[in-house]
Amino acid sequence: MRVALSSPVRKGAFLSGCVVLVSACFLLSLQAMVEHRLEATPTLPNIERAARVQPLNADHEAMLGLVLMQTGDFNAAKAHLERAVAIDPYSARVWLMLADAYEVLGNDERRGSAVRNAITAEPKDTQVQWQAANLFLSTDLDRSLQLLRGVVENDPAAAQAAMQVAYRATNGNVDKAMLAIPLETQSRLQFMRWLLDHHQDEPADRVWPTLLRAPGPFEAREAFFYLDSLVARHQPAQAFAAWTELAQRDSRLRSDLQCGNLISNGDFEGDLLNGGFGWRYIPTTGVSASLDTSTFHSGTRSLALQIDGEDLQDFGFSQQVKVDSGVRYHLSAWLHAEDLQAAFGVRVALSDAYSHKQLSLSDEALGSFPWREVDADFTAPANTELVALSLVRSPSSGRIRGKLWLDDVRIEKQ
């Protein structure tokens, strides 16, 4: 439909409308240009002018509040921040700045309300959760721990810092601090590692049972650091108990355990775990180790060592074994060699894991021979609860070269 502009009144009205519209656009453009130029140099006077130019811009009020807080004028800052949240109540950042101002001014009630509004505005933002948790530390510890839990759940990069804040805020009350640690395996493992790294051994012990109850699978080797800690603290019984508990959670570890045999994975059918009460291997110059699927005494594979080195005393393989003082044990192992040449051959040795005192030493393996069993009896001395089984040379002088296989290692209580 067309509107006729034939009458002078209509023409005048149309032209007036155009003038008003153009003027409004010009003023808005001028306002935006002035505002932009003032923002380009964010000094306090410029921000104040920008706020007068555009009084409904919450960012200007928030910036004024921030600048005034930096100068120490918290009363004036509070007023501007209150205007900012009145214009835009959905900015968690501004609510938290306002909470900071209230805290300095000693208004705890309004501070708490501002923090709650920040969380309502952006409940899943980990930065908001982190700042809110720290603001609540002195007034509402339980709420702070709940917020820290959200940080641990949602931001792996900040999880360790959140754990540290939780533990220190509870004055080392690990049961209370665990309110901030989700009941899932990775978070509990990370918390235990942090505690042990900070020499908080007993609190880490208290976290361990909760890790075992946490839902979800995890590999046993992820917890070997805790077993190593117990061994280092001369608590082999607790370490072995933890090993047994891990076997209940990890079927692959459970398959390495044989009834009556204290050696784990003695037939080498499982993986080499390199930790816990499984086989450990330290790379050693002159020794190349592998699991051989073509040569074995029983099952489907054995441990093969290709050896060529000078003055080798230890071949890098060992396993820690929990024993009872005063009890007699029988050690047996099957060896096979090809062209193993040396003045002194390879032996299976047992020693105290702490004092390194030798407890038993098998006959030496030299030359070439088919599978044959070596064995020895030993009694665990008083105060000996942990022994180490290893392959050694005694004495160790001279060159040794050739190949050696090991299989079906057993330690049985007599």
Point out the residues of the chain with pLDDT beneath 50.
Answer: 1-3, 5, 14, 18-40, 53
pLDDT for 10: 56
- Domain membership flag for residue 275: no
Q: How many folded domains does the chain comprise? A: 1
Residue 327, domain extent? 280-413
Instruction: For residue 408, count other CB atoms closer than 10 A to its CB.
Output: 20
Query: 126-136 and 108-121 helices cross at what angle (nearest 10)?
Result: 160
* Dist. CA 29–CA 45, nearest whole Å: 21
* Dist. CA 147–CA 128, nearest whole Å: 9
pLDDT for 4: 53
Name 185's Cβ contacts closer than 8 Å, sequence gap at least 6: 211, 214, 215, 216, 217, 218, 222
pLDDT for 29: 42
- Domain membership flag for residue 262: no
pLDDT for 126: 86
pLDDT for 52: 54
- Domain membership flag for residue 292: yes
Could you tell me where the DSSP H helices lie in 170-317?
A: 174-177, 185-197, 201-213, 224-232, 236-249, 251-254
- Domain membership flag for residue 326: yes
- Domain membership flag for residue 362: yes
- Domain membership flag for residue 75: no
Indicate the DSSP class of residue 145: H
Three-state SS at 106 = coil
φ, ψ dihedrals at 215, nearest 5°: -70, 160
DSSP bridge partners of 304: 290, 405
* Dist. CA 301–CA 304, nearest whole Å: 9
- Domain membership flag for residue 406: yes
- Domain membership flag for residue 208: no
In the numeric block, which tokens belong to residue 203?
A: 């609190």
The pTM for the full model equals 0.78
Per residue in 153-210, pLDDT (tens digit) is 989 889 999 999 999 999 999 999 999 999 999 999 999 999 999 999 999 999 999 9
Q: What is the CATH number of the domain that holds 288?
A: 2.60.120.260
